[in-house]
Chain A
Amino acid sequence: MDYVVHILILVATYMVLAMSLDLLAGSTGLLSISHAAFCGLGAYTSALLATCFGVPFFIGLLAGMAVAALISFIVSLPSLRLHDDYFVIATFGFQMILFSIFNNWIGLTRGPLGIPGIPQPILFGWHVSSRLDFLILGAALAGFAYFVVHRIISAPFGRVLHAIREDEVFAKALGKNTLYFKVTAFAVSAALAASAGSLYAHYITYIDPTSFTVIESILIISMVIIGGAGSTWGPLVGAAVLVVLPEALRFVGLPSGVAANLRQIIYGSLLVIMMMFRPCGLVGKYGFSK
């Protein structure tokens, strides 16, 4: 039972990540490969504040989101001058640089040793300690992220984002300051990713840089695309499938020595097959088919 709850908590965390990336990739058409780095920024900020200064979880969470949003300006302002593939490559570069900082700034992050002993959160007197408590907190966070993303998408602001995705020049011609919209979407997306990172750090109570690699960024992108980019349910379905699927493959009875590799092979092949036969994702309509 504990195991199932653990998986559900991970699903909730990844749902937040996938939804926030979808705001950028699905709704605005900006595929960013730096999402895991923003998740890491949130995790490291709140973990360091909690372990060094005993800052409560809620403040740490907000601080993490603020830091991620601030850093997102440094990433997005130069990256957004570029188009399509060049934007992807630029965010990729930032992901590598941020990971390098997590891994090598030993004085601050303790590098590969990671930060152990992150306290469990206490929220307004509620000590979140059991797995079930964390599931409630995770579900609440996912609900919050869904609310935020949904409100943005259905507001006039979201319509401009869709317009940028379909035809940016046209959106500009209508007098929209597209750079402002894109930078704002990037910041909101980064802040939400940071909140997921913060929750993850306080749940596992230990973080190290390997959780925030470029591979993790790619996993989040795969969730968005396999679920269905630009649709309300797509990222949720994608996150659930890609977290549960590898876990389910554990029980197929693969020989333990080769299980990890076999799982990855199955995952890679599914990605290829998925792209060939259902490129819009499981429940999506919009299929990056520009």
Chain B
Amino acid sequence: MIQLLANGIVAGSAFALVGLGFALVYNTTKFFHFAHGALYTLGAYLALFFWQHLGWPPLPSGLLAVLLTGAVGWLFGRFVFQSLRWRQAGPLICLLASLGTMIALQNLIALLAGEESRTLRRAAVIEGFDLLGARITQVQAVIALVCAGLYAGTWWAISYTRMGRSLRAVANDVDLATVVGVNTDRAILLTFVAGAGLAAVAGILVGCDTDLTPAMGFQALLMGVVAVVCGGLKTIVGAAVGGLFIGIVQSFGVAYMPTQWKDAIVFTVLILFLIFRPLGILGSPLHRAAK
């Protein structure tokens, strides 16, 4: 019971991080950023390359991978999204452009790194420790802690810094933000970079616990999206609540039903939410205006 809860929380914290990055981009730009999933994969593979191929120590390789993925996020924002925005393309056009980027990027990774599954794990799995009756490995504890820390940091930055305020202004109303002198382009590019960085961190962390495949980003993206929709797409804390919720639902669902129905359970929950509570657990009509 507690074990299931712990597994759910570990998986859910990664969903929350992916979801947070997705929600950042979604709220400022209002389009469905498919390439977010590919950036998640890219981060994990870059870390793999620096760490295992070049033999660098883990922390610098992880950091460099995150920075490089952030740079790729910037490239997408600058050269694809902004030129679409100048042409006044609708959200569906941006969605397809992002989808094309995801397909290209994912296959580029497969081409360079091979389709077979790889892993960021180094040594044999170290026996975990007990925490309130649940058995967790060190890696899993690190995943949960780093996710929580980053999440709190992002939340603080959005809520209390000047840059965060301009992000919220752009999310609320782009034109109005421009009128009052917010550098809209810079704010949007910042969300692309931050979103990509968060995706990369999540990818690297999950890669330390499970295997890497070039196609893994898509599944992660789906879970992240389900998490933010269930938690509340328009709130900052929504992704965290939704991610933990989905992680726990999935972990309990797998315990009481055959494993292969995992996806079906998660997406049924998503549909129930869309029908009965489309603003998410935390969303209230007020949040439409507030965030």
A interface residues with partner B (beta carbon < 8 Å): 31, 78-79, 81-82, 84-86, 88-90, 93-94, 96-97, 100-101, 103-104, 218, 221-222, 225, 258, 261-262, 264-265, 267-272, 274-276, 279, 287-290
Contacts and interface: CB of A to CB of B under 8 A. Distances in A.
Contacts of B100: 267-272, 274-275
11 contacts: A97-B264, A264-B107, A265-B111, A267-B104, A271-B97, A272-B101, A276-B84, A276-B97, A287-B89, A287-B93, A288-B93
A287 B107 CA distance: 28
Given A258-B111, A276-B80, A265 B104 contact: yes
Given A269-B100, A288-B92, A104 B107 contact: no
A78 B89 CA distance: 28
Contact of A261 (B96, B107, B263): B107
A287 B90 CA distance: 8
B108 to A, nearest CB: 6
A279 B111 contact: no
B97 A267 contact: no
Contacts of B80: 272, 276
Interface string B248-291: 00000000001011011001101100110010000000000000
Given A93-B274, A265-B108, A271-B103, A225 B260 contact: no
A100 B275 contact: no
B114 to A, nearest CB: 10
Contacts of A90: 270-271, 274
Interface residues of B, number: 43
Contact of A93 (B99, B102, B110, B271): B271
Contacts of A289: 88-90, 93
B63 interface: no
B55 to A, nearest CB: 27
Given A85-B91, A276-B84, A100 B263 contact: yes
Interface string B207-244: 00000000000000010010001000000000000000
A262 B275 CA distance: 41
A289 B93 CA distance: 8
Given A82-B274, A261-B111, A265-B111, A100 B103 contact: no
B153 to A, nearest CB: 28
B83 A276 contact: yes
A242 B151 CA distance: 41
B267 A96 contact: yes
A268 B102 contact: yes
B87 interface: yes
Given A78-B271, A82-B274, A218-B99, A96 B263 contact: yes
B104 A268 contact: yes
Nearest to B91: A85
Contacts of A270: 100
Given A96-B222, A275-B84, A289-B88, A268 B107 contact: yes
